[in-house]
Amino acid sequence: MKQSALIPVLVLTAGVAFGLGWIAKPSGEPGKENANRNTGSGAKSASLSKRLPRPTGSDTSSSNGSGKVEDFLSRYTSGGIISPEDMTAAIEQMRKENDPILRRKLFSELLENLTPENAKAAYLALQSGRRGWGRGGGDDELRLMAHAWGRIDGAGAIQAFNEMRAKREEEGGERGRGRGREGDRGGFDLVSVLSGWASADGRAAADYVSGIEDEREQRMLSFGVVRGMMVNGVDEAMSYVSSLPKTEDGDRAQAWYMSTIAGEMLEEGLDSAKAWVDTINDPDLRGGALSRVAESAVREDLEGAIEWVTQYADEEAGQRAVNRVANEWAEDDPQAVLTWADSLPDAAKAEAYGEAFEEWTRQDATAAGEYLTNMEASPARDSAVEEFATTLSREDPATAIQWANSISDGESRTETLTQVARSWYYRDREAATQWIETSGLPEESVEAITAERRGFDPRGGGRRPGGGGPRGR
């Protein structure tokens, strides 16, 4: 599979997505603003509270702990507001609560009482105790706090976060920017700030992100804008994604954003999501949405998904969807995927062959190799060999190198050799170095092979989030 400079951004974004997935979802806490999108949440919560036994020592004056909540707030509220100092004290007291349900109630009320004046104090107090996992807090609360702060004072929250980042950089040098525990923490929460800001004022949040010079940071924060806009429906989010400038990476960022929006549409049901995909005219946007819906469809109804995706196989946008169906299907029957692939247009066929051979190599490398031996040169064979070689490199890199050299497309051959050699270099530096010296690979490929590893898999770059896009880009 082709790798891209965007991969690190999307890997980080994938982590952020996991933490932010619930932000754009309606919830009974603390988002009263989402009540119009989830009219049944209140009844569910009430029913749950009746079923759950109250912990020993809980306030018996109320079946849901409201007495404790009111008493808690009265200690820190003066004139209807909570001062920064009292907010700090309230957060610290909340963190001491052992009952996770009551803690969540207290946290929700504090979010409801968040103001531009006390938000920073609340965030810092919560951050200072984030290692207290045993009491039910942690990163989720910090992200929600950042989201709420962005919602009530987006510009102020951004300024405060930039000041905190500058302070980290001053104190810790290069470790303070996007690296290490605190650097990563700030990056994640900044996305949440943008999510909150965009939910209240999408245009202002988008304008801020567009002015960021660092392309990597801009793309990461754009994800926050997309998530925030989705709180108010998908139309604004789609309009924003469509307005983003085209990039040289095959618009993988846009595809990822659309995949995120598609996930929201799937909440309304698979049929609704399929119908929505058909309304998207922009092929760059359509591809990301189509692949995400296809991924869900194949898990629900394999035969139906195959039939549905096949009708898009002659479109570039449909190639991503073919990739996702093949990826899921190949786990059970990679040879059946190959049979289906033979009926597809060349580009889609290459996608399916690649996914099938990645899985088939894991299951039976010998049989997969024998099949490849009898294949004639074609884009499908190149794609199959690419996956065969990169997968085989984990066990037999020297043989994988030989297979990679058989790829007919020069660019694909170089990229596959680079991935295989990087895996080899990681396992046997001396042997890999000897091969590199006579490989004839360009200097940039050699540098990629020997570069310090930063957490990517032995294949040399990591899988594309959500299955990525068409090969050959």
What pLDDT is attached to residue 187?
Answer: 75
Give just the sign of the alpha carbon dihedral 101, 103, 106, 112.
negative
Average pLDDT of the segment spanning 26-37: 40
Confidence band for 40, pLDDT divided at 50, 70 and 90? very low
pLDDT at residue 11 in the model: 43
Residue 18 pLDDT: 44
Q: What is the pLDDT of residue 282?
A: 86
pLDDT of residue 120: 96
| pLDDT number for residue 245 | 81
Radius of gyration in angstroms for the set of CA atoms belonging to the chain, rounded to a whole number: 25
Q: What is the mean pLDDT of residues 77-101?
A: 93
Which pLDDT band, with edges at 50, 70 and 90, does 26 fall under? very low
Surface-to-core class of residue 79, CB atoms within 10 Å of its CB (0-12 exposed, 13-18 middle, 19+ buried): exposed
pLDDT score for 182: 41
pLDDT at 46: 36
Percent of the chain with pLDDT over 90: 62
pLDDT digits (tens, 9 = 90+) for 63-86: 455 678 888 999 999 989 999 999
Residues 6+ apart with CB under 8 A from 149: 114, 119, 120, 122, 123, 157, 193, 196
The answer on pLDDT for 210 being more than 70 is yes
**Residue range 359-388: mean pLDDT, rounded:** 96
3-class DSSP state of 103:
helix
- List, for residues 252-261, the tens digit of each pLDDT value: 788 889 999 9
Work out the average pLDDT over 274-287: 90
According to the model, what pLDDT value does residue 450 have? 92
Q: Over 44-87, what HEC string results?
A: HHHHHHHHCCCCCCCCCCCCCCHHHHHHHHHHHCECCECCHHHH
- What is the tens place of the pLDDT at every residue in 188-204? 889 999 999 999 999 99
Give the pLDDT band (50/70/90) at residue 130: low
Average pLDDT score, the chain: 81
The average pLDDT across 216-222 equals: 90
Which residues, listed in sequence order, are joined to residue 143 by a DSSP beta bridge?
Answer: none
Q: What is the pLDDT of residue 421?
A: 96
